[in-house]
């Protein structure tokens, strides 16, 4: 039996950042290399119907070991890590028996993981934590989910006395750039329902998520010598700044929580000649979600009237929707996870995902798919960390959900 932390530490050595600019699937070759490694591991631990398709999706089966007629269950995690921060040359640090105080991630750069800034750390006092070295993200989102699923499958294979139905597992590419479910073959996966193992802190159970849209605003400027620029220059960066300042100051990630939506200015690049702004639009309520998109359309229209038609180009497209719409009538699936957590001594924390998972889109594709915790926190950046004990509990929950 492979320890889940040992498995996880192997996985984070694979650099698997996804790339939104790439038209391929997977969007990066490194994801495909990691997928090939996972295929080998699935075969080694004894899974069947192990397959890597031409788009980089890994699927495998743990056959049923019961004569009872039970539904086919699935577990899903994603292979890519966020492009928001480097995933190259990850050097994890292990903090045993965490004392609840500051953790120096990088002494040279004075990068400190502090419970004063990240109070959730206190919940893991006494645990063994795995952190970054302050130079990269960690990759717990979602290599922890993959490690937990495969460790649970290995445990079930080693313990045939635990009776379960047919279990399907899948590992997807490009979830972090919103394309993880694009080419997912739900019919081939052939599960009645599934769980993504892609959540955060110990005990999280989620069946609600943001409605999400992506917005790219391109501003076409006109550059002339600043000494003779009067009535001629059209400064794309300045126009972009003016446009950005029209967005509501309080409706941003830094100032919202719970069920509050936001506009997130994710990038702003450019010069006088051309500038590009990208926004993430998020809201749990569909009416408010539509209003946010209308606000952007109206703002761009107004700015084009001010600076000339064609100055600003808007690319606005939906990414995924709130899976609550599809899961409210299937709460037995959510309750199964809730009861499994209780059975292994975890107090479930049912809260909405302030983000999205492959499960959100898969639920709309006919595969009901709530989301479960991995045990990590502060994903997508240098302050990311995960608890080894929480990862072990995630394995227990997967096993308990599978058990009849």
80 assigned to active site: yes
| 195, HSE (Cβ side, Cα atoms, 13 Å) | 32
**Residue found by looking up tokens 């292994």 in the block:** 344
Longest dimension (CA), the chain: 84
The one catalytic residue in 80, 141, 148, 396 is 80
Q: Smallest Cα–Cα separation from 243: which of 307, 316, 300, 310?
A: 300
CA dist 81 and 14 (Å) reads 10
**Residue found by looking up tokens 């929480």 in the block:** 390
The one catalytic residue in 41, 141, 154, 175 is 175
Q: What Cα–Cα distance (Å) separates residue 15 from each residue in 7, 140, 169, 279, 342?
A: 15, 12, 22, 26, 35
Q: Are 78 and 172 in contact (CB under 8 A)?
A: yes
CA dist 86 and 133 (Å) reads 12
CA dist 312 and 298 (Å) reads 12
175 assigned to active site: yes
Q: Smallest Cα–Cα separation from 11: which of 73, 111, 92?
A: 92
- What are the residue numbers of the active site? 80, 175
């Amino acid at each position: 039996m492979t320890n889940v932390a040992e498995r996880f530490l192997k996985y984070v050595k694979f650099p698997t950042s996804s790339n939104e600019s790439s038209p391929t699937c997977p969007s990066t070759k490194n994801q495909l290399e990691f997928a090939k490694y996972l295929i080998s591991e699935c075969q080694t631990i004894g899974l069947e119907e192990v397959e890597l398709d031409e788009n980089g999706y890994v699927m495998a089966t743990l056959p049923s070991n019961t004569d009872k007629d039970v539904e086919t269950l699935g577990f899903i995690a994603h292979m890519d890590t966020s492009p928001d921060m480097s995933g190259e040359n990850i050097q994890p640090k292990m903090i045993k028996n965490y004392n609840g105080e500051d953790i120096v991630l990088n002494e040279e750069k004075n990068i400190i993981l502090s419970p004063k800034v990240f109070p959730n750390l206190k919940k893991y006092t006494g645990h063994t934590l795995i952190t970054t070295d302050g130079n990269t993200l960690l990759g717990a989102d979602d290599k922890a989910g993959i490690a937990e699923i495969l460790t649970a499958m290995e445990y079930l294979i080693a313990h045939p006395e635990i009776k379960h139905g047919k279990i399907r597992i899948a590992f997807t590419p490009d979830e972090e750039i919103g394309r993880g479910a694009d080419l997912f073959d739900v019919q081939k996966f052939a599960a009645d329902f599934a769980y993504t193992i892609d959540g955060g802190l110990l005990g999280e159970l989620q069946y609600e998520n943001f409605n999400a849209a992506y917005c790219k605003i391109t501003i076409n400027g006109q550059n002339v010598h600043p000494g003779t620029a009067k009535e001629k220059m059209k400064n794309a960066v300045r126009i972009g700044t003016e446009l950005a300042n029209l967005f509501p100051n309080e409706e941003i990630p830094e100032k919202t929580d719970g069920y509050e939506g936001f506009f997130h200015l994710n990038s702003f690049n450019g010069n006088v000649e051309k500038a590009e702004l990208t926004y993430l639009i998020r809201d749990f309520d569909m009416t408010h979600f539509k209003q946010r998109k209308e606000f952007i359309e109206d703002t761009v229209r107004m700015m084009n009237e001010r600076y000339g038609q064609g100055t600003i180009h808007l690319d606005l497209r939906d990414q995924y929707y709130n899976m609550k719409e599809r899961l409210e009538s299937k709460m037995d699936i959510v309750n199964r996870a809730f009861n499994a957590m209780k059975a292994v001594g975890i107090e479930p924390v049912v809260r909405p995902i302030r983000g999205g998972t492959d499960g959100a889109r898969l639920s709309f594709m006919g595969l009901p798919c709530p989301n479960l915790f991995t045990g990590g926190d502060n994903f997508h950046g240098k302050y990311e960390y995960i608890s080894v004990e929480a990862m072990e509990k995630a394995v227990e929950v997967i096993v308990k959900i599978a058990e009849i």
